[in-house]
Amino acid sequence: MTVFAQDWTTPFGLPPFDLIRDEDFAPAFDAALAEARANIAAIADSAEPATFASVIEAMELAEGALDRVAGVFYNLSGADSNDAREALMRDLAPKISAFASEVSNNKALFGKIEALWQGRDTLDLTAEQQRVLMLYRQVFVRSGALLEGEAAARLTAVKSRLAVLGTQFSQNLLADERDWFMPLSEADLEGLPDFVVASARAAGDERGAGGAVITLNRSLIVPFLQFSPRRALRQRAYEAWVARGANGNAHDNRAIAAEILALRDERAKLLGYASFADFKLEPEMAKTPAAVRDLLMRVWTPAKAKAEADAAVLEAMLHADGIPGPLEAWDWRYYSEKRRRAEHDLDEAALKPYLSLNAMLAAQFDCAGRLFGLEFREIDGPFYHPDVRGWEVTRHGAHVAVFLGDYFARAPKRSGAWCSAMRSQRKLGAEVRPIVVNVCNFAKGDPALLSYDDARTLFHEFGHALHQMLSDVTYGFISGTSVARDFVELPSQLYEHWLEVPAVLEQHARHWQTGEPMPADMLRRLLDAGTYDQGFATVEFVASAMVDLRFHEGDAPADPMQKQAEVLEQLGMPRAIRMRHATPHFAHIFSGDGYSSGYYSYMWSEVMDADAFAAFEEAGDPFDPATAARLERFILSAGGSQEAESLYTQFRGRMPGVEALLKGRGLLDAA
């Protein structure tokens, strides 16, 4: 009997990480899948008349054991991978896909759902139940429930292959990120701030390199590109960073990307859609590729103009250093950082001592307390890795959630930052409170000191966590972040705004050694520079979003790299800026379907987050209780219980225009 077959007596029902072994997962998945299949068969084969309770509510609970095992395994596989877990992921991908296809292809089961849908007006359903029924039917139809014969069989095969390829893409990317590092001599460390040197030495210790190294982790390579005066080293590091997944080795992702795009195109056409983008965007707020393109191009034009003006300034600085050639991508961050110091008198090395991880955690928790009455009490593990910390979240003494934070980069962890739930909120059957995980990749230090961008990432992921923790719905199917993809980033991007509230930094941005607050003039300069280099940031993002859209809105390109080049040429991509995510390492869109045709979602949500924070500004208080209560009621606690546009309109009274986004990025003057 594996630990997953036993009742967990741990506090808050946390997984007993100290008892779980890698060899437990395969038999646990086998048992959970068998149980789920039996439960689904019992629902589909029942001779009793279909009711909402006997079909939809039973399906909500049918995969409980599978959710339990998967909630632990997939969190560990992303945050603390190893050979055994990677092998099991490859084995599981087609099995999980096959099970999902079995469910969606079960004609008896779909017949019961369809009967409920057709008779919904006679069922006396609550608004939430009507929404859940509609979404279940939509998922089945979009999964091929209406297909027959060869078309149904082919769709099943396509989805299985896509699951395998997505796993392979992710593991290839992780392998490239894990295997590459650049040793630095003592001379190579000259000119680097102490925090970069310390991070490079720590990375070298982890890799057993016998000295400082630069890895492909964003929290290490970006500050190296900002501060290293050695142009040749910057070029070598940068070119390795952008070549992830495209090194011509066993981990090359280019052929995988091409096959994924072809299969997605086939999937969409089997379901009757003109393109994968048309299929994917149908249930989102944007609805159509044309709406996405319109938003991106309205932002691209002023962003490109701003970036080109900035490039001219940086190139002049390059020439002043006696380098005659054009500004290159590995030069941008170095000269931009020098320019920021000159124009805003801001030095990241001077800022970081005031932005320790502990201080910023206190800030994010304090804001959540002032806005929503939440309290955070640190708890002991054991957790799945020594770096992980945990907190019990309460309100007025009542348990709300368990929050886990896994903040430091390490070789077995995939890059980036994300929020996930080991257990999601629901009320059906019993009150279930969530276990929520924030994962980041900050450079480890003693203490850990963050850049301002790192602190923004911390707040961003915690905004997602609040969406999970404050969820208050009956059905797990619509809880937390189970919302339209272009709505899911609203809570996360909105929460970033509280990091910019002067009173928050005045209270929490304190020197890690002395406890002194950040000097008032430094704080003012930091906030005044809030839109600095937004031309660059916007261009690299929009370029990635446009490539993603163009990949999916027509016939699949035979050569994605050629298509990428064509799109960037048509956009007039500035020479010294690259896509934020080039195709071979664009995990957002190739590791799974999540953000495929949907990378634009961050910007779509940004239109709303700028407007949503304006509601607090209009109330005259960034912690206005009435506005916070509306935010929780209509956004954070509602999950997917209503259409996203309806929820936002109830919170704000209207939908916003793109002007708030342009203003927030400092691009109105360039528009």
Same-domain check for residues 370 and 292: no
Q: Do 225 and 328 belong to one domain?
A: no
Task: List, for residues 191-208, the tens digit of each pLDDT value.
Answer: 999 999 999 999 999 999
* Residue 22 belongs to domain spanning: 3-104+106-143
Residues 516 and 651 in one domain: yes
Residue 155 located in a structural domain? no
Within-domain flag for 81: yes
Residue 671: per-residue pLDDT = 58
Tell me if 326 is assigned to some domain: yes
Over residues 380-402, the mean pLDDT reads 97
| Cα distance between residue 353 and residue 522, in whole Å | 12
Beta strand 389-395 pairing with 418-423: unpaired
Helix (H) or strand (E) holding 402: strand 398-408
Q: Do 133 and 53 share a structural domain?
A: yes
523 falls within a domain: yes
Residues 131, 270, single domain; the answer is no
Identify whether residues 328 and 452 lie together within a single domain: no
Asked if 577 and 327 count as a contact pair (C-beta separation under 8 A), the reply is no
Where among 242, 266, 282 does a domain terminate? 242
Distance (Å, rounded) from C-alpha 561 to C-alpha 253? 11
Residue % of the chain over a pLDDT of 70: 100
Q: Are 565 and 390 in contact (CB under 8 A)?
A: no
How many domains would you assign to the chain? 4
Better pLDDT: 386 or 445: 386
Q: Is residue 254 within 8 Å of 560, Cβ to Cβ?
A: yes
Question: At which of 568, 599, 630 does a domain end?
Answer: 599
183-185-187-190 Cα dihedral, nearest 10 degrees: 50
Task: Tell me the backbone φ, ψ of residue 643, rounded to 5 degrees.
Answer: -60, 145
- What confidence tens digit (pLDDT) does each residue in 213-271 have? 999 999 999 999 999 999 999 999 999 999 999 999 999 999 999 999 999 999 999 99
Question: Distance between CA 505 and CA 523 in Å, rounded?
Answer: 8
Last residue of a domain, one of 599, 616, 645: 599
Phi, psi of 519 (to 5 degrees): -55, 145
Assess whether 294 and 230 both reside in one domain. Answer: no
List CB contacts of 201: < 8 A, sequence separation 6 or more.
211, 212
Q: Is the pLDDT of residue 669 over 90?
A: no
Where residue 668 falls among pLDDT bands split at 50, 70, 90? Answer: confident
Lowest mean pLDDT among 344-353, 376-385, 597-606: 344-353
Comparing 657 with 164, the larger pLDDT belongs to 164
Q: What is the mean pLDDT of residues 187-193?
A: 96
Does the residue 625 lie in any domain? Answer: yes
| pTM for this entry | 0.95
CATH of the domain at 324: 1.10.1370.10
The answer for 214, left when phi > 0, alpha when psi is -120 to 50, beta otherwise, is beta
Q: Are residues 28 and 120 in the same domain?
A: yes
Beta bridge partners of 394: 375, 399
Catalytic residue positions? 461
CATH number at residue 97: 1.20.1050
State whether 657 and 514 are in the same domain: yes
Q: If pLDDT is split at 50, 70 and 90, which confidence band does 618 have?
A: very high
pLDDT digits (tens, 9 = 90+) for 73-126: 999 999 999 999 999 999 999 999 999 999 999 999 999 999 999 999 999 999
Answer yes or no: do 592 and 634 share one domain: no
Mean pLDDT, the chain, rounded, equals: 96
**Residue 483 and residue 557 in one domain:** no
pLDDT at 660: 83
Q: Is 154 within a domain? A: no
pLDDT at position 1 over 70: no
**Residue 128 belongs to a domain:** yes
Instruction: Using the predicted structure, report yes or no on whether residue 7 has a pLDDT greater than 80.
Output: yes
Residues 6+ apart with CB under 8 A from 126: none
Helix (H, G, I), strand (E, B) or coil at 193: coil
Number of neighbours of residue 534 by Cβ within 10 angstroms: 20
Task: Kindly state whether residues 68 and 124 are assigned to the same domain.
Answer: yes
Q: How far apart are CA 77 and CA 487, in angstroms?
A: 26
How do residues 51-80 score in pLDDT, each as one tens digit?
999 999 999 999 999 999 999 999 999 999
